[in-house]
Amino acid sequence: MTILSLWVADMFFYEKASSFQHPRRILNVVPGDFTHDGKLDLLVMSQSQAVAQLDMSLYRGSPGGEFCT
């Protein structure tokens, strides 16, 4: 399970925001609004079964703050 934490600037700490399951080892996560709907999405780069390749998956943000593929 991967836990997503967001920075709370006025309190100077990270707060748990959500979590999600990913089937492979995660190498990088890029946050952004990739679907242009005003919600935080996650682009997850992970190990591929093939040598010298990366898998990329987009987890779209849902209204409840959770993420779905």
Q: 13-49, pLDDT tens digit by residue? A: 999 888 888 889 999 999 999 999 998 899 999 999 8
Q: Six-digit token pair at 29?
A: 């996560």
Candidates 61, 67, 59, 56; CA nearest to 24 is: 56
- pLDDT score recorded for residue 65: 74
- Confidence class of residue 4 from pLDDT cuts 50, 70 and 90? confident
pTM of the predicted model, to two decimals? 0.78
pLDDT given for residue 68 in this prediction: 80
H-helix or E-strand spanning residue 4 = strand 2-8
Rounded Cα distance between 68 and 53, Å, is: 23
CA dihedral of residues 46, 59, 30, 63 (deg, nearest 10): -160
